Structure 1
Amino acid sequence: MKQFDVPVFYRSPLISAIKRKRKEKDKLKKDFAPTLLDFGPVQIYLARHFGFCYGVENAIEIAFRTIDENPGKRIYLLSEMIHNPQVNQDLLSRGVRFLQDTHGRQIIPFEELTPNDIVLIPAFGTTLEIEKKLNTIGIHTEKYNTTCPFVEKVWNRSEVIARKEYTIVIHGKPTHEETRATFSHAAFNAPSVVVKNMAQTVELAKYITGEKPAAGFYQEFKGQYSVNFDIAKDLERLGVVNQTTMLASDTQAIADYLKQIMIDKYRLTKETLAERFADTRDTLCYATNDNQTSVTEMLRTPADFAVVVGGYNSSNTSHLVELCEEKLPTYFINNAEKILSRREILHYNFHTKEELLTAGFLPDPTPVKILMTSGASCPDALVEQVIEKITGFFSNTVPTATVAANFLSQ
């Protein structure tokens, strides 16, 4: 896989060495067991896969290279490059400005742009409408488009199934940048509808079976369906794609549920299934799968609590938190500074969208066992800083360099 030129201050010597060693020993990625870092009084189990994914590294490389190659030019980001506050702040500190916030609300009017300006498309991609608006101004985004290749893969797959006259069901968060972009691309080619979760999928299925009157669809799914969506005929052939950062198991469950609905309604067999339902399993992102599978495997290890590091508005990170919360106390933080002391930690509740202060999060008996991972947009350097902060509260801990050497010698 391609190696990217990511700024060194996002790297971690410790974690880079661990990832390199794990990759050498497991080239086919069949071992999802966590990595034990034994500091003595603290034992940290790192997920097998975590941190920057291919799409994020690609976006960061393009963004920083664009800044270096265009001194004096006005450079804009359409919205946040990725959902990590440090990376976005680093870009802002280098003179980049945001045109929109993460919800698509305008910060700087498009009318202020000129053909000489540079606009970076973020890793989530953007809508066809915004692309057209920028092109009309004279800004051509091809060179500065950092859209993740795996997001584009979903768009391409949507186009393929659209040509076969399937309606596209998108599993995603309707207000998320990636889902807005995917919806735009899908809706250009076929009738499209977004479902947030299984609960909404169950309600959508009731319109397929006729259990609910058709007229109710337009209010219940307001803002989540394409223009001229015809409930009477546009749910007769379906294909399911997803926002790549959703829980892969949730997307598969939604696809399986709708497939069974179609089988039951149209009395389909294995041979006739494709007449009504498209196979889209190949749209699930490899990094999302790997990171979520790694967390599931990590959770088999008995521990006192879990720490998940990443941006609070990061969809893929929140799903890792969700998995951990099912098993043990979990602290979602975006940097080491949220660990205020040996006693207190300030962490994010993504369900209520607020930070909480918890006292006594580090138990007294040792060794303290901690599970740790991070989101796909989180620099490894932040994870190492969290490790150093926690181990620093204990006396007689094994130095990080020694822990790294012990691991590499295995």
Structure 2
Amino acid sequence: MKTFNVPVIYRSPLISAIKNQRKQQDRMKKDFSPTLLDFGPLKILLARHFGFCYGVENAIEIAFRTVEENPGKRIFLLSEMIHNAHVNNDLLDRGVQFIMDTAGKQLIPWEDLQEDDIVIIPAFGTTLEIETRLHSLGIEPLKYNTTCPFVERVWNKAEQIGKKSYTVIVHGKPGHEETRATFSHSRSNTPTVVVKDMAEAEKLAAYINGTTPAESFYTVFKDQYSPGFDVTTDLQRVGVVNQTTMLATETQAIADYIRQVITAHYQLTEATVGERFADTRDTLCYATNDNQSAVTGMLLEPADLAIVVGGYNSSNTSHLVELCEEKLPTYFISAPEHIHSAGEIDHYDFHHKQVIHSDTFLPEKERVTVLLTSGASCPDALVEGVIRRLLSFYGLEHKADEMATAD
């Protein structure tokens, strides 16, 4: 796989050494068991896969190179390039400005932009409407495009089945930048509707089989369907694609469920179900799959707690937290500084969108085992920082240096 020129401040000698060793041992990436870092009184079980993915490294390389190659020019990002505050703040420090926030709220009026300004499309992609807007301002929207190739793969799949007269069901968070972009691209080819979870998929199924009056659809799915959507005809042939960072198990469950509903309602067989349900296969990216599978493998090991590092508005990271929360006390942090002591930590409750303080962090016992992972937009340097922070409570921080330089 291609390697990228990512700023050294995001790299970690310790994590690089660990990842390289695992890569040598497991070149086919079949082993999802964690890496054991045994420091005596502290054991850290590090997920097999975590941290920057292909799409994130690609976006970072393009954005930082754009800044370096265009001194004196005004450079804008449509919104956060990725969902990691450290990376976004580094770009802000270099003079990059955000045109919108992550919810799509305008921060800089379009009319303030000039033809010679540079506008970078973030890794999530953008809508066709925004591309048209940039064109109208004399700005080439795709010249500085960091859209993840795996996001574009979803767009291509939606277009492919749309041209075969299937309606597209997008499994994603309706307000998320990537979902907004996928929705825009899909609805240009075919009727499209967004469902955020299984509960909404079940509501949609009730319109497919006619158990819920059709007219209520437009209220229940307000702002989640394409213009002109006809609930009485547009749900007769469907296919499911997704926001690439959703839980793989949930996406698969939704696709299987809709398929079953279609099969039963139209009395189809395995041989004929394709007439009304498109085979989209899995449109999750490899990193989402690998990171979630690595957490599942990590959770097979006995441990006292889990730490997940990443941006608080990162969808893929929050899903890793969800998986860990099912088994263990889980602490979602964005930086090692949030661990104040062996007892105190500030961590994020993404369910209620708030930071909370806990004063019963590491248990008082002879040997403590911590599961550790991070999201796909989290620099490895932050994960190393967490390891060093934990080691400092045991007077063992030098062990990280020894491990990083060991042959």
Residue pair 1:248, 1:284 contacting (<8 A) in 2 also = yes
Q: Deviations over 1:291-330 (max 9, x none)?
A: 0000000000100100000000000000000000000000
Q: Deviations over 1:270-310 (max 9, x none)?
A: 11111000111141211100000000000001001000000
**Rounded Cα–Cα distance in structure 2 between residues aligned with 1:262 and 1:199:** 17
Q: Are 1:163 and 2:163 an aligned pair?
A: yes
**Rounded Cα–Cα distance in structure 2 between residues aligned with 1:197 and 1:395:** 45
Q: Are 1:323 and 2:323 an aligned pair?
A: yes
Residue pair 1:39, 1:403 contacting (<8 A) in 2 also = no
**Rounded Cα–Cα distance in structure 2 between residues aligned with 1:224 and 1:183:** 9
Alignment correspondent of 2:5: 5
Alignment correspondent of 2:58: 58
**Rounded Cα–Cα distance in structure 2 between residues aligned with 1:54 and 1:234:** 36
Alignment correspondent of 1:370: 370
1:402: how far off? 2.8
**Rounded Cα–Cα distance in structure 1 between residues aligned with 2:163 and 2:397:** 61
Alignment correspondent of 1:20: 20
Equivalent AA in structure 2 for residue 260 of structure 1 = Q
Equivalent AA in structure 2 for residue 375 of structure 1 = G
1:48: how far off? 0.3
Q: How has the CA–CA distance of structure 1 residues 39 and 403 changed in structure 2, closer, same or farther, with 3 Å as cutoff?
A: farther
**Rounded Cα–Cα distance in structure 2 between residues aligned with 1:317 and 1:323:** 10
1:366: how far off? 2.2
Q: TM-score w.r.t. structure 2 length? A: 0.99
Q: Deviations over 1:358-404 (max 9, x none)?
A: 01211111211000000000000000001101110113566113334
Residue pair 1:168, 1:191 contacting (<8 A) in 2 also = yes
**Rounded Cα–Cα distance in structure 2 between residues aligned with 1:380 and 1:327:** 25
Determine helix, strand or coil for the equivalent of 1:138. coil
Alignment correspondent of 1:253: 253
1:340: how far off? 1.2
Alignment map for 1:71-220 (pairs within 5 Å): 71-220=71-220
Determine helix, strand or coil for the equivalent of 2:378. coil
Residue pair 1:49, 1:291 contacting (<8 A) in 2 also = yes
Q: What is the aligned-residue identity percentage?
A: 65
Determine helix, strand or coil for the equivalent of 1:240. strand
**Rounded Cα–Cα distance in structure 1 between residues aligned with 2:142 and 2:245:** 24
Equivalent AA in structure 2 for residue 165 of structure 1 = S
**Rounded Cα–Cα distance in structure 2 between residues aligned with 1:234 and 1:141:** 32
**Rounded Cα–Cα distance in structure 2 between residues aligned with 1:7 and 1:238:** 43
Determine helix, strand or coil for the equivalent of 1:224. coil
Alignment correspondent of 1:288: 288
Residue pair 2:76, 2:98 contacting (<8 A) in 1 also = yes
Residue pair 2:14, 2:403 contacting (<8 A) in 1 also = no
Q: Deviations over 1:201-231 (max 9, x none)?
A: 0010001111000000000000000000001
Q: Are 1:313 and 2:313 an aligned pair?
A: yes
Q: How has the CA–CA distance of structure 1 residues 116 and 29 changed in structure 2, closer, same or farther, with 3 Å as cutoff?
A: same
**Rounded Cα–Cα distance in structure 2 between residues aligned with 1:161 and 1:197:** 22
Equivalent AA in structure 1 for residue 238 of structure 2 = L
Higher mean C-alpha deviation, range 19-28 or range 294-303: 19-28
Determine helix, strand or coil for the equivalent of 2:301. coil
- Point out 4+ residue stretches in structure 1 off by more than 3 angstroms: 395-398, 403-406
Q: Deviations over 1:95-135 (max 9, x none)?
A: 00000000000000011111100000000000000000001
**Rounded Cα–Cα distance in structure 2 between residues aligned with 1:290 and 1:191:** 31
Equivalent AA in structure 2 for residue 299 of structure 1 = L
1:78: how far off? 0.2
Higher mean C-alpha deviation, range 280-289 or range 198-207: 280-289
Alignment correspondent of 1:338: 338
Determine helix, strand or coil for the equivalent of 1:143. coil
Residue pair 2:128, 2:184 contacting (<8 A) in 1 also = yes
Q: Deviations over 1:321-371 (max 9, x none)?
A: 000000000000000110112210000000000011001211111211000
Determine helix, strand or coil for the equivalent of 1:44. strand
Alignment correspondent of 2:232: 232
Residue pair 2:263, 2:269 contacting (<8 A) in 1 also = yes
**Rounded Cα–Cα distance in structure 1 between residues aligned with 2:30 and 2:205:** 36
**Rounded Cα–Cα distance in structure 1 between residues aligned with 2:194 and 2:374:** 27
Determine helix, strand or coil for the equivalent of 2:108. coil
Q: How has the CA–CA distance of structure 1 residues 384 and 68 changed in structure 2, closer, same or farther, with 3 Å as cutoff?
A: same
Equivalent AA in structure 2 for residue 79 of structure 1 = S
Determine helix, strand or coil for the equivalent of 1:369. strand
Q: TM-score w.r.t. structure 1 length? A: 0.98
Residue pair 1:125, 1:151 contacting (<8 A) in 2 also = yes
Residue pair 1:40, 1:396 contacting (<8 A) in 2 also = no
**Rounded Cα–Cα distance in structure 2 between residues aligned with 1:405 and 1:113:** 49
**Rounded Cα–Cα distance in structure 1 between residues aligned with 2:240 and 2:348:** 31
- What stretches of structure 2 of length at least 5 have no aligned partner? none
Determine helix, strand or coil for the equivalent of 1:366. coil
Alignment correspondent of 2:244: 244
- What stretches of structure 1 of length at least 5 have no aligned partner? none
Residue pair 1:41, 1:397 contacting (<8 A) in 2 also = no
**Rounded Cα–Cα distance in structure 1 between residues aligned with 2:157 and 2:183:** 13
Q: How has the CA–CA distance of structure 1 residues 144 and 360 changed in structure 2, closer, same or farther, with 3 Å as cutoff?
A: same
**Rounded Cα–Cα distance in structure 2 between residues aligned with 1:116 and 1:186:** 30
**Rounded Cα–Cα distance in structure 1 between residues aligned with 2:404 and 2:40:** 13
